[in-house]
Structure 1
Amino acid sequence: MKYFVYILYSEEHNKTYVGYTNNLERRLKEHNSGKSEYTKKYKPWKIVYTEECKSEIDARHREKYYKSAAGRRKIKI
């Protein structure tokens, strides 16, 4: 099964969010419908970056990287 790391951006609130999923379309709908505790405060969201990963473990590692200080520096929106 394919997994994806994704970065969301809320232009209205100038916020980013990093996550991973095996279904990008479903996950974006969940974020924009308020089903995620953190992201419901900053709707609407749009996907600004995706990265396909070979496994869930790889996706988790990439998510962790993008949430780290080094990964955050690479995210320029």
Structure 2
Amino acid sequence: MRSLGEAGRAAGGRRLFYVYLLTSVANPAKRYVGVTSDLRTRITTHNNGGSPHTAKHRPWKLVTYLAFTERAQAEAFETYLKSGSGHAFARRRLWPN
């Protein structure tokens, strides 16, 4: 398994896009789903208060991430996870119990 620093490129040098799930360390009931092409930097931004949507509930910990080779696929999956059926799927399969 590659580290996050090495995971930015797929085989063949293609850029990867990540859908990631965060949980607030301070308030575990607070969760966040996002998409990025630079996961390590994006988590640092969240934890430094650089995102208005997550600044109040920091620090954040990474729960899981999924990598996609196409930006449109990653964005569509993020949108799905934020929908009603996507919330149900994530509760069953992606968020810890």
Q: Specify the structure having the higher radius of gyration (Cα).
A: 2
Distance 1:35 1:55 in 2: 26
**Per residue, is there more strand in 1 or in 2?**
1
What is the number of equivalent residue pairs in this alignment?
Answer: 77
Please list, as runs of the form range in 1=range in 2, the aligned pairs for 1:9-24 lying within 5 A after superposition.
Answer: 9-13=23-27, 14-24=29-39
Q: Which amino acid aligns with 1:59?
A: A
Q: Which amino acid aligns with 1:3?
A: F
In structure 1, runs of 5+ residues without a counterpart are none
Task: Answer 1 or 2: higher relative contact order, Cα 8 Å, separation at least 6.
Answer: 1
Which aligned runs of 4 or more in structure 1 are off by greater than 3 angstroms?
none
Kindly, what percent of the aligned residue pairs are identical?
35
Deviation at 1:74, TM superposition (A): 2.1
Larger mean Cα displacement after TM superposition, 10-19 or 23-32:
10-19
* Aligned-residue CA RMSD (Å): 1.0
Q: Which amino acid aligns with 1:11?
A: V
Q: TM-score by structure 2 length?
A: 0.75
In structure 2, runs of 5+ residues without a counterpart are 1-14
